[in-house]
Chain A
Amino acid sequence: MLSPAGEAAHRLALLGWLLLGVASAVVLIVTVAIIIPLRRRRVSLADAPLAGSPDREDGVMPISIGVGLSILVLIAAYIGTVVTLHATVTPPRTPALTVSVTAHQWWWEIEYTDANPGRSVRTANEFHIPVGQTVRLELQSADVVHSFWVPRLQGKVDVIPGETNSFWIEADQPGTYYGQCAKYCGMQHAHMAIFVIADSPSDFASWLDRQREPAHAPTDSLVQAGQTAFTNAPCAFCHTIRGTEAAGRAGPDLTHLAGRGTIAAGELRNGTGDLSAWITNAPSLKPGTLMPRMDLDPRTLHAVVAYLRTLN
């Protein structure tokens, strides 16, 4: 919230700073109000004779003033709240783009649907949006309750199985915006990052076009061997690589894996070393993950990794 970069986040931050400012003032005033009378304190109970009288209501006037001021402050806070609600619940402009987000334990499935199914794009954990345009998100969960949150762009929204939540984000500058699942969703809730990358509209269009293409057929023999190993191994049961026979849906779509910055929902870097370690023994790196240990001999592993590194 401290460095908003999207329309919604700006409004939420404005409200937030106003409220926090008022809150700090209240704390200061009350603390001073507590300290001042202490300057008249006595050392012993015997030194301090009883004052006031039982059964009579006194001090009512200053109490009323305190309460009255509080009510005024609360009314102002409420007005600010309602104004902000109206500005942020519905997007200010018609969304230019709709992206489907499905939360899983513990990764994010992103889909850019298209009327023509051949042009649909699926990716995972990292997705692009055009700068300055409102993007609608349709959020669903494949398992438990998660929460989608990219603080620099928007507040958070829960992702609930059996329901679809409609949401919007918009970035006003290009950049990479980091988020994490914000509702405890099981063992690896801590490792469920999301990256939203805002490109200029033309860069975004070319990125999406590239995503639409299936994976190119390998020319190099090592890479070829990797592709064969991938499609023959259990990998294909869980993962899709468009352009090959691998069409599993349990795990992330890997068609353009090499273009992503991280793997395992942000836990690891998307480089040869981490990729090899992940494939070999994912549960040791992310206990609880549904990706099992894969016992590949070193040559096959090397080939598969080489293949995956070509999936741009």
Chain B
Amino acid sequence: MATAADRLTRIWETPHDLVGQLTTVDHKIVGKRYLVTAMVFLVLGGAEAAVMRWQLAGADMHLLSPETYNQLFTMHGVTMIFWYASPILSGFSNYLWPLLLGSRDMAFPRLNAFSYWAFLFSGLFLYSSVLVGQVPDGAWVSYTPLTGPRYDAGLNIQFYALGLILLTVSTTAGAVNFVVTAIRLRAPGMTVDRIPILIWGTLTASVAILFALPALTVACVFLYFEHRLGMHFFDPTAGGRPVLWEHLFWMFGHPWVYIVVLPAMGMVSTMLPVFSRRPLAGYRWVVAATIATGAIGFSVWLHHMFAMGASMGGLTFFSGASMLISIPSAIAISAWVVTLWLGRPVIRTPMLFVLGFLVLFVIGGVSGVVTAAAPFDWQVTDTYFVVAHLHYVLIGINLFPVIGAMYYWLPKITGRMLDERLGSWNFWTMFIGFNVAFFPMHIAGLLGMPRRIYTYPAGAGWDTVNLISTIGTYIFAVGVLLFVINLARSLRGGPLAGNNPWDANTLEWSTTSPPPVYNFAVIPTVRSRDPLWERRLDSARQSEISAGPVLDEGREAMGTTPLRAEPTSVLHMPEDTAWPLLTAIGMLLAGYALVGARWEWLGISAVWLIVTIGGWLWPGREPASA
């Protein structure tokens, strides 16, 4: 006789064959795919950096030609900021959100599958430029007219622009999914005041994505049209203005840097309380700070352009706004530190990465606040000082929490713990290596070393700091390698994790490790922010995790109201389907048609997309009514 668990398994599981893998809409599989793919891009970007650091270890070195170096720093930036930093967070969010929310799935499971395929294909599209020897070389910011048709003819910038457009489609699809899931698919009783803080981080980032990414799309479309259709947007000889690119790019670019850190800060806000053995202090303040950072992030973009000759009014306003935005960060760091003080810290590997993050967050944050002062920025922008700042914030506020999150959540995902001793070595090697690599760059910038130079002269006095940075880079790389080794050993036979190895507070720890394919046997009802800690904390009303609606008449999830999370409806989730993959293939086809100017193929891909999206949206077979 089939148990409820068997029944739910049969309803939700994806077959393990190839067809199953290509048609799955399981958010946990999609999440794992994002994690693995993003880590591959991290390693690629890291390799690009390692080669560059060799070239810069001494003055006037000629290991690399200027073309190769310029391609390397372009691809390093583009890969890390676009194809690693956001997708890795999407991976965690995709896997964890339904589990954190007490739900069976995301709001749009097929859109979820599509967003992964489009992400993968966009990365393959970008890197296929290497195969045809047309690697983008305009820096990740791709300023015009340097990257326009007159000064950078060829296909490389088109690969850049079209690859990014394809990625923005993927990222936007993901953002829509997160926003709607947060609004309608929370567990009953999970009011706005009880939403896990990681949800707030990703939700804020997702709303920001909806409003910021179109600026990049517009910029890339303009750039592609300049190259392919002879149009003029940025070309001053035909009425265009180069600075328009900078405005569009940074109106996207500044919100983007918050998009790639706010979910990670949410992960820290999730892990730090667990290892401080108490709930996050000032939860509402931290939520407000998260949203405020996302919102103010849209009003500071000109600080990337302080040297362009802006007016006094512009300089004053944007300096002020750029300093203002550090106030929500001050709220966050205060909340974390206070949580530590009020709690009982326990050091485990995830906590090491959280603590390291805190230090790097402050260093990166203050180096950003000092550059918010326009006059000081005039001396340090476009120098290694900014390179130091951006790596402190990106590696400190994204990568360190990510590795910590790996140690924290991989036991849930795989069912096996990672090794604590190796984890400690992993952390310290990464932390020391990182600081040895990047702290001296502040000094290099103050000594006058500009960025994006493939070599530097012997007499400039930059040799020592560069050598130290190179050594630190390789130490850091060993640290990352230690993580990979730890991961491999854990997968091959690490100790079993059990449901809740960290005695944590959020709903995902109530399931087995790994969770069943249907996440929860019954839909939980939530009555506090820390459902798994209620019995041992002072809470009269407790969440109901072991009893609730079963929803087993097919793939079903509970729909609840946006603010008070009152259950209103049973939502029917889709079965596995190939349409998302086929749609992503159509987009890739369109990308190649555009880069190759094969308009007939563009027409074919348009028809293809009409068919696949039409098929996707066509209603499924209606089961008989009861």
B-binding residues in A (CB < 8 A): 1-2, 9, 11-13, 15-16, 19-20, 22-24, 26-27, 30-31, 33-34, 36-38, 40-55, 57-60, 62-63, 65-67, 70-71, 74, 77-78, 80-82, 84-86, 88-89, 105, 143-145, 147, 149, 151, 154-158, 160-163, 165-166, 178-190, 193, 266, 287-288
Alpha-carbon distance A159/B466, docked complex (angstroms): 28
Verify B448–A26 contact, CB threshold 8 A.
Answer: no
Alpha-carbon distance A178/B455, docked complex (angstroms): 16
In this complex, the member of A23, A47, A181 whose beta carbon has the largest number of chain B beta carbons within 10 angstroms is: A23
Verify A52–B278 contact, CB threshold 8 A.
Answer: yes
18 sample A-B contacts, Cβ–Cβ < 8 Å, listed by A number: A13-B379, A37-B345, A40-B345, A53-B537, A54-B534, A55-B193, A59-B281, A59-B282, A59-B339, A63-B338, A66-B333, A77-B369, A81-B375, A85-B316, A162-B236, A162-B241, A180-B453, A184-B70
Given the complex, which residues of B lie within 8 Å of A57, measured CB to CB? 281-285
Verify B347–A12 contact, CB threshold 8 A.
Answer: no
Of all chain B residues, which has the CB nearest A74? Answer: B323
Is B366 an interface residue when CB atoms closer than 8 A count as contact?
A: yes
Given the complex, which residues of B lie within 8 Å of A33, measured CB to CB? 337, 341
Alpha-carbon distance A154/B379, docked complex (angstroms): 7
Verify B324–A74 contact, CB threshold 8 A.
Answer: yes
Per-residue CB proximity of B283-307 to A under 8 Å, as 1/0? 1110000000000000000000101
Is B308 an interface residue when CB atoms closer than 8 A count as contact?
A: yes
Is B367 an interface residue when CB atoms closer than 8 A count as contact?
A: yes
In this complex, the member of A80, A86, A183 whose beta carbon has the largest number of chain B beta carbons within 10 angstroms is: A183
Of all chain A residues, which has the CB nearest B73? Answer: A184
Is B315 an interface residue when CB atoms closer than 8 A count as contact?
A: yes
Given the complex, which residues of B lie within 8 Å of A154, measured CB to CB? 378
Verify A38–B345 contact, CB threshold 8 A.
Answer: yes
Distance from A37 Cβ to chain B, minimum over Cβ atoms (Å): 4
Size class of the B contact interface (CB-based, 8 Å)? 35 or more
Contact partner of A54 (CB less than 8 A), chosen from B241, B284, B456, B537, is B537
Verify A71–B454 contact, CB threshold 8 A.
Answer: no
Given the complex, which residues of B lie within 8 Å of A19, measured CB to CB? 369-370, 373, 376
Of all chain A residues, which has the CB nearest B453? Answer: A190
Given the complex, which residues of B lie within 8 Å of A47, measured CB to CB? 346
Is B468 an interface residue when CB atoms closer than 8 A count as contact?
A: no
If A42-B345, A59-B335, A189-B452 touch, whether A52 touches B379 (CB-CB below 8 Å) is no
If A42-B344, A53-B538, A180-B450 touch, whether A155 touches B375 (CB-CB below 8 Å) is yes
Verify A48–B277 contact, CB threshold 8 A.
Answer: yes
Verify A53–B539 contact, CB threshold 8 A.
Answer: yes
Of all chain B residues, which has the CB nearest A36? Answer: B341
Verify A149–B369 contact, CB threshold 8 A.
Answer: no
Distance from A294 Cβ to chain B, minimum over Cβ atoms (Å): 22
Verify B143–A183 contact, CB threshold 8 A.
Answer: yes
Distance from A150 Cβ to chain B, minimum over Cβ atoms (Å): 9
Distance from A71 Cβ to chain B, minimum over Cβ atoms (Å): 6
Alpha-carbon distance A70/B324, docked complex (angstroms): 10
Distance from B108 Cβ to chain A, minimum over Cβ atoms (Å): 31
Given the complex, which residues of A lie within 8 Å of B556, measured CB to CB? none
Verify B340–A78 contact, CB threshold 8 A.
Answer: no
Verify B309–A182 contact, CB threshold 8 A.
Answer: no
Verify A41–B375 contact, CB threshold 8 A.
Answer: no
Is B382 an interface residue when CB atoms closer than 8 A count as contact?
A: yes
If A23-B369, A52-B342, A55-B528 touch, whether A45 touches B502 (CB-CB below 8 Å) is yes
5 more A-B contacts (CB under 8 A) besides A45-B346, A77-B373, A189-B453? A57-B281, A74-B324, A149-B450, A181-B450, A287-B66
Alpha-carbon distance A156/B305, docked complex (angstroms): 11
7 smallest beta-carbon distances between A and B, as pairs = A155-B378, A162-B236, A59-B281, A66-B334, A190-B453, A70-B330, A23-B366
Is B574 an interface residue when CB atoms closer than 8 A count as contact?
A: no
Alpha-carbon distance A155/B379, docked complex (angstroms): 5
Of all chain A residues, which has the CB nearest B331? Answer: A67
Verify B376–A15 contact, CB threshold 8 A.
Answer: yes
Given the complex, which residues of A lie within 8 Å of B341, measured CB to CB? 33, 36-37, 62
Given the complex, which residues of A lie within 8 Å of B143, measured CB to CB? 144-145, 183-184
Per-residue CB proximity of B46-67 to A under 8 Å, as 1/0? 0000000000000000000111
Alpha-carbon distance A84/B373, docked complex (angstroms): 9
If A85-B315, A143-B145, A160-B309 touch, whether A44 touches B346 (CB-CB below 8 Å) is yes
Verify A190–B66 contact, CB threshold 8 A.
Answer: yes
Per-residue CB proximity of B168-190 to A under 8 Å, as 1/0? 00000000000000000000000
Given the complex, which residues of B lie within 8 Å of A74, measured CB to CB? 323-324, 326-327, 369
Verify A49–B277 contact, CB threshold 8 A.
Answer: yes
Given the complex, which residues of B lie within 8 Å of A149, measured CB to CB? 382, 450
Given the complex, which residues of A lie within 8 Å of B144, measured CB to CB? 145
Given the complex, which residues of B lie within 8 Å of A16, measured CB to CB? 370, 376, 379-380, 446
Of all chain A residues, which has the CB nearest B152? Answer: A186
Of all chain B residues, which has the CB nearest A71? Answer: B327
Verify B358–A34 contact, CB threshold 8 A.
Answer: yes
Is B573 an interface residue when CB atoms closer than 8 A count as contact?
A: no
Verify A34–B337 contact, CB threshold 8 A.
Answer: yes
Given the complex, which residues of B lie within 8 Å of A36, measured CB to CB? 341
Given the complex, which residues of B lie within 8 Å of A34, measured CB to CB? 337, 340, 355, 358-359
Given the complex, which residues of A lie within 8 Å of B343, measured CB to CB? 37, 51-52
Contact partner of B281 (CB less than 8 A), chosen from A11, A45, A63, is A63
Alpha-carbon distance A56/B344, docked complex (angstroms): 18
Alpha-carbon distance A49/B344, docked complex (angstroms): 8
Verify B277–A26 contact, CB threshold 8 A.
Answer: no
Verify B347–A38 contact, CB threshold 8 A.
Answer: yes
Is B533 an interface residue when CB atoms closer than 8 A count as contact?
A: yes
Is B530 an interface residue when CB atoms closer than 8 A count as contact?
A: yes
Verify B448–A147 contact, CB threshold 8 A.
Answer: no
